Structure 1
Amino acid sequence: MLPTPAKPKIAISACLMGFDVRYNGGHKESRLCTRTLAEYFEFVPVCPEVAIGLGIPRPPIRLVGDATQPQAVGTIDHTFNVTQPLADYGQKMAVELGDACGYIFMQKSPSCGLERVKVYHTNGAPLDGGGRGIYAQAFCLQHPDLPVEEDGRLNDPVLRENFLTRVFAYSAWQQLLQEGLTRRALTEFHSRYKYLLMAHNPVQYKTLGNLLGTMGHTDPQELGPRYFSELMAALKKCATRRTHTNVLQHLSGYLKRAISGEDKQEMQHLISQYHQGIVPLVVPLTLLKHHLRQHPDPYLAQQVYLQPHPENLSLRNAL
């Protein structure tokens, strides 16, 4: 028997896993994470505020000053400043969580929020736009390619599918690095991700193809990190009905000689219904996979696009 592949590791704000670590002694359990995703991922809960020695419960902190470089201070005692301890802990955890394939942060938190966290003037008036939590900022600076998301945004099916697609891609890349980054391995990796890239970012799909096409004698150890950074940036762009339709048309083109005219008509009808928003992506995709089982194609069989995440997560049922 082959060993079961390890679940990708995702760091997560501890309050989202149901731990009572918030300033008010409560939690913000995400049932999506604790009940649905926990089966597929190894979650590593982190609460930076507790980790730097703040109690439970505790006086709340807020961000004050410049939105790009705010200070984390007490809301009541403004001389209480934990900016540096939170930043230092972010750098420390960036090293300790070097094998994480994603991070889910608590939104609006002055330590963990990723965007639009309230930042205040010293006189107490809020700034426009907001900023990023101190810990999250320090952590993300060390891992610019890591898929990161806030819990609230995961309620959006498109953003949820996009984030988890990137987590599995990140995990696959880590696996590749463990096995050894060679020219052939890099070419094969890109080959498997071609149609997923086409769905997310058609422009970058061409750019990355050209990058590898001119690889020549370039050391893959040098080219690999650049390729991967560009891949993760490309996948961050959400696929649309238009780009998914384009990929479905490309994939169904491989079957034009193998299936009957009636089957081709049915395939085109379902792709068109998906494009118009009548059926979800899973419908034409299921029929496409059915035909590919009847008429196997080794090149298409390896395409990550067909199954970028476990089928039982049903992520494409809502797209």
Structure 2
Amino acid sequence: MSDQVPLEPKIPVGISACLTGQKVRYNGGHKQSRYCLNVLEDCFAFEPFCPEVAIGLGIPRDPIRLVGLEGEHPRAVGTTDPEMDVTDDLMRVGKDFVERHRHLRGFILMKGSPSCGMERVKVYHPNGVPHHADRGVFVRALREFYPELPLEEEARMNDAVLRENFIARVFAYDDWMNSIASEPSYHAILQFHSRQKYLLMAHHYEGYRELGRYLAEAHDTPIEEVKQHYLGRFMHHMAHKATRKTHTNVLQHILGYLKRELDSDCKQEMLDSIEQYRLGHVHLVVPLTLLKHYVKRFGTDYIRQQTYLNPHPHELGLRNYI
């Protein structure tokens, strides 16, 4: 895909610097990601960052690890010199990073890192024995100071469902930033909710209903409060993984808007395709391609504008594997 014409405009996304090939790891190496550089770079403008280098740790360096008891925030300390505690430094650069990078639409992280690991980072008991798991300190700062920012570990994107989930969130957040962030209005938020309706429903049906009820009652609420509440809850609900069951539900809902226009044979063909997907015999792209064909021919403007039909560039082929 790297030799194709780049998809425009590129979306700004943060990334652990080692994943871009920069030799910033504790051992002087890198963890270059072919998928990020050969595929996602066609639509993402990556902004590399290494929090450990940012706090002044050298290359190579004594590695750090998380130490602490379950139920408390672990500390990031040196493996050979436990007196070297860089936790506060990592939280500080994390907060500073957020203040300078509010334009980002997502961040791709290095798995297992005591600074950048998103989850299941090994935490050691003070006696030196592996004890439980937590998130890296830099990620803790991102979650605290920029909770709506979509995060994902590069290694987890080997899972097709997690990969599609993250990229759909990035593009949805980009839509929000482009259409709401600079000039927020109640009408603009309603329009955003309207076009994101079925994508949100696929990720979390109850979340879709919750936000619909909220907006119906939020007319007199200050717009900044509506904006903050809606975005936080929207991104929270979008983090849920869509499933074959929820995709099937959405496909059937959209088909319902076309039932008067389709003859019985076309309708049955569509229903059979959805059922084959529900049973796991075909990928989502199969019923979706057929549905998009009918939406283009017979759909209303309301249905055609649904981001569920095209949540990310088709060139990425994300729905070919889920």
The question of a shared fold, defined as TM-score above 0.5 by the shorter chain, is answered with: yes
The reply to whether residue 78 of structure 1 matches residue 82 of structure 2 is: yes
Deviation at 1:5, TM superposition (A): 5.8
| Letter aligned with residue 194 of structure 1 | K
Q: 2:180·2:189 contact (CA, 8 Å) conserved in 1?
A: no
Q: What is the alpha-carbon distance in structure 2 between the residues aligned to residue 81 and residue 39 of structure 1?
A: 39
| Letter aligned with residue 266 of structure 2 | D
Higher mean displacement: 297-306 or 209-218: 209-218
**Alignment partner, residue 131 of structure 2:** 127
Higher mean displacement: 290-299 or 280-289: 290-299
The reply to whether residue 221 of structure 1 matches residue 224 of structure 2 is: yes
Alpha-carbon spacing, 1:90–1:124, altered in 2? closer, same or farther (3 Å): same
Match of 1:22 among 20, 25, 45: 25
Match of 1:96 among 87, 92, 100: 100
Q: What is the alpha-carbon distance in structure 2 between the residues aligned to residue 231 and residue 171 of structure 1?
A: 13
1:24-39 map, 5 Å: 24-39=27-42
**Alignment partner, residue 275 of structure 1:** 278
The reply to whether residue 207 of structure 1 matches residue 210 of structure 2 is: yes
- 5+ residue gaps in structure 1? none
Match of 1:13 among 12, 16, 37: 16
Q: What is the alpha-carbon distance in structure 1 between the residues aligned to residue 42 and residue 77 of structure 2?
A: 38
Aligned-residue CA RMSD in angstroms? 1.4
Deviation at 1:72, TM superposition (A): 1.5
| Letter aligned with residue 107 of structure 1 | K
Per-residue Cα deviation, 1:49-102 (whole angstroms, up to 9, x for no partner): 112111111111111123532222211122222222211111110111111111
The number of equivalent residue pairs is 315
The reply to whether residue 107 of structure 1 matches residue 86 of structure 2 is: no
**Alignment partner, residue 248 of structure 2:** 245
1:297-316 map, 5 Å: 297-316=300-319
Alpha-carbon spacing, 1:284–1:65, altered in 2? closer, same or farther (3 Å): same
Query: When the two structures are superposed, what TM-score results if normalisation uses the length of structure 1?
Result: 0.95
Per-residue Cα deviation, 1:124-167 (whole angstroms, up to 9, x for no partner): 11112x12211221222101111111111111000010011111
Q: What is the alpha-carbon distance in structure 2 between the residues aligned to residue 261 and residue 225 of structure 1?
A: 46
| Letter aligned with residue 177 of structure 1 | I
**Aligned residues: percent identity?**
50
Q: What is the alpha-carbon distance in structure 2 between the residues aligned to residue 218 and residue 178 of structure 1?
A: 17
Q: What is the alpha-carbon distance in structure 2 between the residues aligned to residue 161 and residue 141 of structure 1?
A: 24
Displacement over 6 Å in runs of 4+? none
Give the secondary-structure state (helix, strand or coil) at the position aligned to 2:131: coil
Q: 1:186·1:220 contact (CA, 8 Å) conserved in 2?
A: no
Give the secondary-structure state (helix, strand or coil) at the position aligned to 1:118: strand
Q: What is the alpha-carbon distance in structure 2 between the residues aligned to residue 206 and residue 70 of structure 1?
A: 37
- 5+ residue gaps in structure 2? 1-6
Q: What is the alpha-carbon distance in structure 2 between the residues aligned to residue 138 and residue 251 of structure 1?
A: 40
Q: What is the alpha-carbon distance in structure 1 between the residues aligned to residue 95 and residue 188 of structure 2?
A: 31
| Letter aligned with residue 44 of structure 1 | E
Q: What is the alpha-carbon distance in structure 1 between the residues aligned to residue 284 and residue 293 of structure 2?
A: 14
Deviation at 1:216, TM superposition (A): 2.7
Q: What is the alpha-carbon distance in structure 2 between the residues aligned to residue 66 and residue 98 of structure 1?
A: 33
Q: What is the alpha-carbon distance in structure 1 between the residues aligned to residue 205 and residue 79 of structure 2?
A: 47
**Alignment partner, residue 171 of structure 2:** 168
The reply to whether residue 291 of structure 1 matches residue 294 of structure 2 is: yes
Query: When the two structures are superposed, what TM-score results if normalisation uses the length of structure 2?
Result: 0.94
| Letter aligned with residue 86 of structure 1 | L
